[in-house]
Structure 1
């Protein structure tokens, strides 16, 4: 039986400054579980992230294990020297796999949040990258 607190979710609105993979939208709505113990990702308002999301029938979703990383403040593309917080440090392979970033002109912040906290996101990665990272971790565990 699922406990209600673990089965709930939240949808956050992410404002982008760069997109590496996917649509060039200035904002995305991303679903995650409400609790870390249910693999939910805890976004902080005003922080900057590299977000890896999958496409589901209800829209984009991310989890605690998706490989998301908290980034340094700013609005420039990722650099290998960036000190991030997340599952693993940035690697040349990840930077290459992400490809060339495209700057998104998000304009001023919205006056009110639509569905959750406004969070600046640098990118929404492709599910393929999540699969590569997952396969790498799985291979290392053997």
Structure 2
């Protein structure tokens, strides 16, 4: 409960909507890295690969933008290979502008605030007050002293709060297919194409019988003549 209350207070203090279609004032509370982690549902470093603006009423406020990231290190949340995060399009409404091709340390919330109108249709959102930073291109974990575009270098306090990252999960590999089982060799094949042994034995027995019969026939004839 305390987590949600603090998140709501942060967002309410962050910006005040004056009227639909008019300018907004954004003022961020000073949060420590540990609080930024606690208020976020997803924290990661990743590269922006796409951006699209949500359709909205031309007479209303500027619709939010949905950014698609390719994470390389995940500090909080599911270690997925693609994440969509929404943000208001204008900085007076506390929108954070990401540049396609840039790499960022992103803090995204899943709390429903109603501050993004119309509804962007994605569960995660972020803004100027969340602690996002544009970091150097690459895929490794952030380290203390790493440069940040238009900001102070990464602090040791932030690195400690982030903790150990996880790489994004790759798509599950297909299970290995077992090699086909060879068909059992036939008797003829096992002897290199020669006749089976029983045929050879039977032939030998038949041949011996013929020889014996031929030998006995003259003997019987001699007996009869005598």
Corresponding residue of 2:127: 63
Match of 2:94 among 15, 25, 39: 39
Give the equivalent residue in structure 2 for 1:84. 148
Q: Which runs of 5+ in 2 are unaligned?
A: 1-18, 22-58, 113-121, 172-226
Offset of residue 105 of structure 1: 5.2
Distance 1:61 1:88, change over 3 A: farther
Aligned to 1:48, which of 100, 103, 107?
103
| Shift of residue 89, structure 1, vs aligned partner | 3.3
- Relative to 1, partners in 2 of residues 1:12 and 1:47: Cα closer, same or farther, differing over 3 Å? same
What does residue 2 of structure 1 align with? 20
TM-score by length of 1: 0.67
- Check whether the contact 1:6–1:33 (CA below 8 A) recurs between aligned residues: no
Q: 1:92 to 1:13 in 2, by over 3 A?
A: same
Q: 1:97 is paired with a residue of what secondary structure? A: helix
Provide the aligned length of Structure 1 versus Structure 2.
107
Q: Provide the rounded CA distance (Å) in 2 between the counterparts of 1:62 and 1:86.
A: 18
The CA distance in 2 between the partners of 1:66 and 1:25, in whole Å, is 21
User: CA offsets per residue over residues 90-139 of structure 1, 9 Å max, x none?
Assistant: 211110110101112568xxxxxxxxxxxxxxxxxxxxxxxxxxxxxxxx
Q: Which runs of 5+ in 1 are unaligned?
A: 108-142
Bigger-Rg structure (1/2): 2
The normalised TM-score by structure 2 is 0.43
Root-mean-square deviation (CA), in Å? Answer: 2.0
Aligned residue for 2:130, secondary structure, equals: coil
1:90 to 1:28, Cα distance in 2 relative to 1, 3 A: same
Tell whether the 8 Å contact from 1:6 to 1:35 is kept in structure 2 after alignment.
no
Structure with more strand by fraction: 1
Q: Would you say the 8 A contact 1:16–1:26 is kept in 2?
A: yes
The worse-fitting range, judged by mean Cα deviation, of 36-45 and 84-93 is: 84-93
Question: Which protein has the bigger helix share?
Answer: 2
